[in-house]
Amino acid sequence: MRWLCIVALCALTLGASAADKRILLIAGKPSHGPGDHEFRAGSLLLKKCLDAVPGIDAQVHDMGWPKDEKVFAGASAVFLYADGGGGHPAIQPARLKLLDGLSKQGVGIGCAHFGVEVPKGEPGAALQEWIGGYYEHQFSVNPMWAPEFKEFPKHPVANGVKPFAVVDEWYFNMRFREGMKDVTPILVAKPSDAVRNGPYVFPRGPYAHIQQARGRSEVMMWVATRPDGGRGFGFTGGHKHVNWGNDNFRKVVLNALLWIAKVEVPPEGVASQLSENDLRQNLDPKGKK
């Protein structure tokens, strides 16, 4: 009987700690046309994949911000997948202060696609601190192209990721920390001269400083560490919802979400499967495709 009680107690203890890493996926408001900027649907796909990872409690909060900010208490990581620029959901002064406080407690922060763009000044400095860099208007660029990611660093976020290429609005020429301090590139490719010459999505460009850098490799995803012990990442893809169906595109983001939450990434990366039907679920009501 005593042995059974011990087994039961262990089971309760394991159950209580089974979801001890909470990852908040903050999805932006509906944006763009059907199949583009599907922040909510994309976040729900990531949640579906994370739900299969032991020890992870993934929560999606849509419309740009949690309805109750109490959910931030005890979170291990926050992921922002939303429109950026002047309308970025995190740059209101109170929210910026909240996230900065979380970062100083070691909470991981990740940003994807338009979510890596904020105005320069205080918001830009905050993203440099939290995730290592940001998209700066008319310094960075946003062409629609298919970079060929062929080689990856020896880093947990790259675990199991194989070469891939998909058409997306891959931003590059980020405004990184000075000297790339504590920043590690993950997805790197070399844009052709045609990509550098534009047109970019907006403004259409081209920009002389981008053209003059021809032949240089560019960073489309990176990770960063902070003196507070926290971790961050930026991922510039995520415009086209269909790309979440690519195993490697999806895996590198899932790996990053575990890494910033300080969860060990499996040697072969996070395993997940999505069907075409999965990709059609939860799309924003934007009209006919």
Q: Is a pLDDT exceeding 80 seen at residue 38?
A: yes
The token duo for 241 is 């919802």
- CA dihedral (271, 261, 58, 113) in degrees, to 10, reads -80
For 277-282, which contacts have Cβ atoms below 8 Å and span 24 or more sequence positions? Answer: 278/45, 278/48, 278/245, 279/45, 279/241, 279/242, 279/244, 279/245, 281/41, 281/44, 282/38, 282/40, 282/41, 282/44
Closest-CA residue to 32 (of 219, 266, 221, 202):
202
Amino acid at 289: K
Q: Is a pLDDT exceeding 60 seen at residue 126?
A: yes
Q: Report the distance separating Cα 240 and Cα 121, nearest Å.
A: 29
* pTM for this model (two decimals): 0.93
Mean pLDDT across 55-62 = 97
- CA dihedral (115, 121, 125, 128) in degrees, to 10, reads 50
Are 213 and 229 contacting, i.e. CB atoms less than 8 angstroms apart? no
**pLDDT value of position 288:** 61
262-277 pLDDT, tens digit each: 999 999 999 999 999 9
Give residue 105's Cα distance to chain centre: 20
**pLDDT value of position 212:** 98
pLDDT band of 135, cuts 50, 70, 90 = very high
Mean pLDDT across 128-154 = 98
CATH code for 20-279?
3.40.50.880
User: 112: how many CB neighbours lie within 10 A of its CB?
Assistant: 27
pLDDT band of 287, cuts 50, 70, 90 = confident
**pLDDT value of position 1:** 42
Mean pLDDT across 99-104 = 97
Summary mean pLDDT of the chain: 93
Q: Report the distance separating Cα 106 and Cα 262, nearest Å.
A: 10
Distances (CA, A) of 14 to 7, 10, 11, 54, 76: 11, 6, 5, 11, 19
pLDDT band of 228, cuts 50, 70, 90 = confident
Q: Where are the domains of the chain?
A: 20-279
Q: Is a pLDDT exceeding 80 seen at residue 16?
A: no
% of the chain exceeding 90 in pLDDT:
91
pLDDT band of 41, cuts 50, 70, 90 = very high
